[in-house]
Every structure is written in structure tokens, then in C-alpha cells.
């Protein structure tokens, strides 16, 4: 990225956002009335710290800009109403929990996101540079950022985009590093806005920051919270399709989803684990501890029979790719107790042509998808057929969620993906894991980051959705 030169800036070009404050009011019907909303914030001449979920970069490149585009309305709203934005997001997982080291790599930088925003909005964003400590990341937001904030207030630049929040030692910390980082973040701004529905974990930039600044839900956050209610209270029959690479991380959501659905379709390692537990077979890559966990679901399903088993699966001798002669279709009806299999890496597309599977998908009124069925990119065929089969149901309300789910949907069916963005029958969530968490907990307003906004609103004395004394700050962190 070209170095920032103070005073260098670009103005807004023609921008089609299609979201006004009045239109925003329509979306609030299903929201908790205690939730402070961006529409009610006093933003004129305020520096606004905006947390987004622009975690769309892999190896330095944007794979799907959807999670950026859905936050443009919030950015526009802030700027149009006189606010000056400082934006932040996390990208990937630079912290290694095993070695307890934080590695700062250019592949995890925000540069690609900033370049996209500058092309899209014709606004100049400045990315501040801070000292990086080897294996520990960035300890402090130093005072050099004050020059950028001066230019931001003077409208010499359109915005500031902070480095990857997970490059900061305090972002995921629970001690002194976190507290110092939060105080420094709060010292940059007058108002905080959370538009990162997909980032529900209580980290410094999503949760603890609300202790110090008047805080509001952005327009994307509001839309996600409103639509997730339709998954919690679905039209029946309700079918969910869930896949994943680890069973133990999904057992909580799966248990709750099972209670709500009429039929549940599994994929990935989750499905492999279920099959191993039910049929007492072994597959490479499936851990015994996960099989033991899955036995509870197997027992439950013997009675309720909600899990719709996809009968044909793909076994391969190698994980290095899809090589002729080294993979084959097997039928779960042919399982024999005690039998061992190699890696199962996909569902055969023919599974979605089985009459029982077709009938379940075609008769559903609500379908929720958080699933990539196969090991990408080599084994994409099952996922492609799944997307096609679901789209055949033109009357169902279809909800897709999760970065990988959306990315593969766009990659495999670009035309259908674009049509889905404009279709009233589709809604694409920015955070599939967050939807699963909501399904597990049963209340979107119980998410830690959303609850923090509500508690902030009560602390700052919001009345009827409007803040009483909006110029006040929380614990008054020092300015940098």
C-alpha cells in the first residue's frame, strides 16, 4: 500500500447504498427496545470508533467482499451525519494458543480491505503504523496517531483504518494488556459502533470497549439480529444443514438445533463422526473422543429420527487431491460393524437425488445452511449439488451463514449467489458461527457483545432509544 501523506485525500464519489435513517427504523421491529441504535446517536463532529467484521482476507487477498459491502451503509450513515470514522476488524488467527506467540504477517494485514474500500468509496483511508514486538505483536497505540486524527477531524482524510485488531497484544488478552489496549482505543474516539455480528466473542474491541464510550449497534448488526429471529422462530417444516471440521465445538449448537428442527442434515467431519458412532465403524481423521460425544445424539435420534442421512459418501486414499483411482463412492447401507475406512471427504452428489432427501428439501418452509460438505477445493461436488437442491425450493425462506459457506456458494454458483443477494427468499448471514451460538442460547440479545451494548445504553441513560446526554463518556479514558 502506498504510504500515507498528511493532507492527501479523496472525496466521496457516487455511492449507491440504499439505506436511510428512516428505512433503518423499519428494520427495528424485532429488536430489543433497550438496544442503542446508530440512528439515534449524536454523530456530528464526533470521532466514531467502528468495529466491523471484515475478516475476508486469505494470503493477502479478498476472497469475498460481501462482509465488507454489508457494512457500507453504516459507514455512509456515520459520514453523512457528520461523524469521522476510525474502523477496525480482526483478520484470521495470528495468535498461536499452543506456543502462546503472536505472529504479525502481511498476509493478515488490512491492506487489501483498505484498498477495496478506497476503490469502492473514493475515500482516502490512512493506516497507522505501530511498533511490533516479536512474538508479542503490538503493545501500544502510540501518540503518532494523533496527527492522523487531526487530519480526520479536519476532513483531510476520509477515515482511519487500524491494523488487524488481533495484532494487538490486548485484543484477546484478559489481563493488563487488554485493559491498556481498551483504554487506548477509547482515547481515540467519542462514540463506539459495533457492526460486527460475526464477532460475538467478548474481546477488547467488541466487548470491553463499551465500558468507556457511548455505544451503538450498527445497521448491519441490526439487520442480522432482526433476521436471526426468523431462524429462532422458523416457519415449519424447518430443515438445518450443518457441517464442520470438529465435532466437539459443535455439540452444544447441534443439541439445541436438534430440538428446533424437523430434519437435520449433517456434513463434513461432523457427519463422519455421527456415522462412526451410529454404525460402529472407524474413519481416518475422526477421533474416538468425538465418537464418544456423538453417541448421545445417536441415542436421541433413535427415538425422534430427525437426522436425514445422506446415503452416498466419498472415500479417498489421500488428502493431497482428487486423483482418479484413489477415491470411490461408498453406501452407508454397506457398513459393517468394526470396519475401517480411509478418509471420507465429501458427500456424493447423487445423495441429493434420493427421493427422501428431495422430498425433505422441497417441502421445507425454512432452510438454514452452515455447511461445506466436502474437503475444498478438490472435493466440491457435494456442496455444489446441495446448493442446487436447496435452490429448487422456490417457496422456502433460505438462510446461509458463515464465511466458508458463503465463499464456496459464491465460487460454485456465482450467478445464483448474485441472485440470492437480491432475493427476498434468501438471507446471507455474515456470521454462521454466531447464528449457531444464538440457536444454542436461544436469545440473540444474550450474545456477550450485544448484551454489552444494552448494558452500555442503560449506563448512559438511553430513553426511548435516544441517548440522554450523548456527549458524556464512560470512565473518561485519557486522550492519547
Q: Model-level pTM greater than 0.75?
A: yes
Q: What is the mean pLDDT of residues 401-408?
A: 90
Q: What local confidence, expressed as pLDDT, does residue 245 receive?
A: 83
Q: What local confidence, expressed as pLDDT, does residue 20 receive?
A: 36
- The backbone region for 461, taken as left when phi is positive above 0, alpha when psi lies in -120 to 50, beta otherwise, is left
Nearest to 88, CA basis, from 50, 117, 56: 50
| Nearest-5° Cα angle at 195, 418 to 472 | 155
| Nearest-5° Cα angle at 208, 207 to 214 | 85
How confident is the model over 421-439, as pLDDT tens digits? 999 999 999 988 899 999 9
Distance CA 281, CA 337 (A): 6
Q: Which residue has the higher pLDDT, 4 or 306?
A: 306
Nearest to 282, CA basis, from 347, 335, 319, 345: 335
The answer, yes or no, to whether residue 16 has pLDDT greater than 60, is no
Secondary structure, 3-state, the chain? CCCCCCCCCCCCCCCCCCCCHHHHHHCCCCCCCCCCEHHHCCCCCCEEEEECCCCCEECCEECCCHHHHCCHHHHHHHHHCCCEEEEECCCCCCEECCCCEECCCHHHCCHHHHHHHHHHHCCCEECCCCCEECCEEECCCCCCHHHHHHHHHCCCCCEEECCCHHHECCCCCCCHHHHHHHHHHHCCCCEEEECCCCCCCCCCCCCHHHHCCCEEECHHHHHHHHHHHHHHCCCCCEEEEEEECCCCCCHHHHHHHHHHCCEEEEEHHHHHHHHHHHHCCEECCCCHHHHHHHHHHHHHHHHHCCECCCCEEEEECCCCCCCCCCEEEEEHHHCCCCCEECEEEEECHHHHHCHHHHHHHHHCCEEEEECCCCCCCCCCHHHHHHHHHHHCCCCCEEEEECHHHHHHHHHHCHHHHHHHHCCCCEEEECCHHHHHHHHHHCCHHHCHHHHHHHHHHHHCCEECCEECCCCCCCCCCCCC
Q: Which residue has the higher pLDDT, 202 or 471?
A: 202
How confident is the model over 63-118, as pLDDT tens digits? 889 999 999 999 999 999 999 999 999 999 999 988 999 999 999 999 999 999 99
Ramachandran angles phi, psi of 288, nearest 5°: -60, -35
Across the chain, what does the average pLDDT equal? 90
The three cell numbers locating residue 402: 458463515
How confident is the model over 337-378, as pLDDT tens digits? 999 999 999 999 999 999 999 999 999 999 999 999 999 999
Amino acid at each position: 500500500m502506498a504510504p500515507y501523506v498528511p493532507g492527501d485525500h479523496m472525496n466521496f464519489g457516487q455511492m449507491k447504498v440504499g439505506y436511510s435513517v428512516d428505512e433503518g427504523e423499519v428494520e427495528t421491529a424485532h429488536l430489543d427496545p433497550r438496544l442503542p441504535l446508530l440512528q439515534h446517536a449524536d454523530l456530528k463532529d464526533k470521532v466514531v470508533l467502528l468495529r466491523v467484521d471484515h475478516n475476508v482476507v486469505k494470503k493477502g487477498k479478498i476472497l469475498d467482499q460481501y462482509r465488507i459491502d454489508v457494512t457500507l451503509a453504516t459507514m455512509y450513515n456515520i459520514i453523512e451525519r457528520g461523524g469521522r470514522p476510525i474502523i477496525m476488524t480482526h483478520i484470521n488467527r495470528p495468535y498461536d494458543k499452543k506456543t502462546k506467540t503472536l505472529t504479525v504477517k502481511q498476509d493478515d494485514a488490512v491492506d487489501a480491505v483498505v484498498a477495496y474500500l478506497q476503490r469502492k468509496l473514493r475515500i482516502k483511508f490512512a493506516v497507522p503504523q505501530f511498533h511490533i514486538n516479536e512474538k508479542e505483536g503490538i503493545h501500544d497505540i502510540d501518540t503518532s496517531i494523533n496527527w492522523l486524527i487531526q487530519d480526520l477531524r479536519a476532513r483531510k482524510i476520509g477515515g482511519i483504518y487500524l491494523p488487524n485488531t488481533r495484532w494487538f497484544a490486548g485484543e484477546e488478552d484478559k489481563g493488563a494488556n487488554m485493559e491498556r489496549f481498551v483504554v487506548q482505543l477509547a482515547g481515540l474516539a467519542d462514540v463506539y459502533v459495533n457492526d460486527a455480528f460475526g464477532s460475538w466473542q467478548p474481546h477488547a474491541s467488541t466487548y470491553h470497549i463499551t465500558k468507556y464510550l457511548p455505544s451503538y449497534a450498527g445497521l448491519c448488526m441490526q439487520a442480522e439480529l432482526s433476521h436471526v429471529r426468523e431462524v429462532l422462530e422458523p416457519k415449519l417444516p424447518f430443515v438445518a444443514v450443518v457441517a464442520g471440521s470438529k465435532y466437539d465445538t459443535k455439540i452444544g449448537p447441534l443439541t439445541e438445533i436438534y430440538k428446533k428442527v424437523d430434519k437435520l442434515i449433517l456434513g463434513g467431519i461432523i457427519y463422519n463422526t455421527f456415522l462412526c458412532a451410529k454404525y460402529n465403524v472407524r474413519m481416518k481423521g475422526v477421533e474416538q473422543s468425538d465418537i464418544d460425544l456423538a453417541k448421545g445424539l445417536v441415542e436421541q435420534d433413535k427415538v425422534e429420527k430427525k437426522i436425514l442421512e445422506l446415503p452416498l459418501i466419498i472415500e479417498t486414499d489421500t488428502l493431497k487431491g482428487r486423483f482418479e483411482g484413489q477415491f470411490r463412492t461408498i453406501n452407508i447401507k454397506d457398513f459393517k460393524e468394526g470396519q475401517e475406512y480411509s478418509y471420507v471427504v465429501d458427500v456424493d452428489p447423487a445423495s441429493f437425488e434420493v427421493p427422501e432427501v428431495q422430498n425433505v428439501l422441497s417441502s421445507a418452509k425454512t432452510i438454514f445452511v452452515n455447511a461445506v460438505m466436502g474437503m475444498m477445493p478438490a472435493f466440491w461436488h457435494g456442496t455444489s449439488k446441495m446448493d442446487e437442491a436447496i435452490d429448487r425450493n422456490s417457496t422456502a425462506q433460505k438462510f446461509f451463514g458463515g464465511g466458508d459457506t458463503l465463499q464456496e456458494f459464491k465460487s460454485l454458483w456465482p450467478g445464483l449467489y448474485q441472485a440470492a443477494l437480491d432475493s427476498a427468499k434468501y438471507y446471507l448471514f455474515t456470521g454462521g458461527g454466531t447464528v449457531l451460538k444464538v440457536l444454542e442460547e436461544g436469545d440473540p440479545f444474550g450474545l456477550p457483545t450485544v448484551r454489552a451494548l444494552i448494558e452500555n445504553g442503560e449506563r448512559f441513560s438511553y430513553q426511548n432509544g435516544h441517548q440522554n446526554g450523548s456527549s458524556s463518556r464512560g470512565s473518561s479514558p485519557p486522550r492519547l
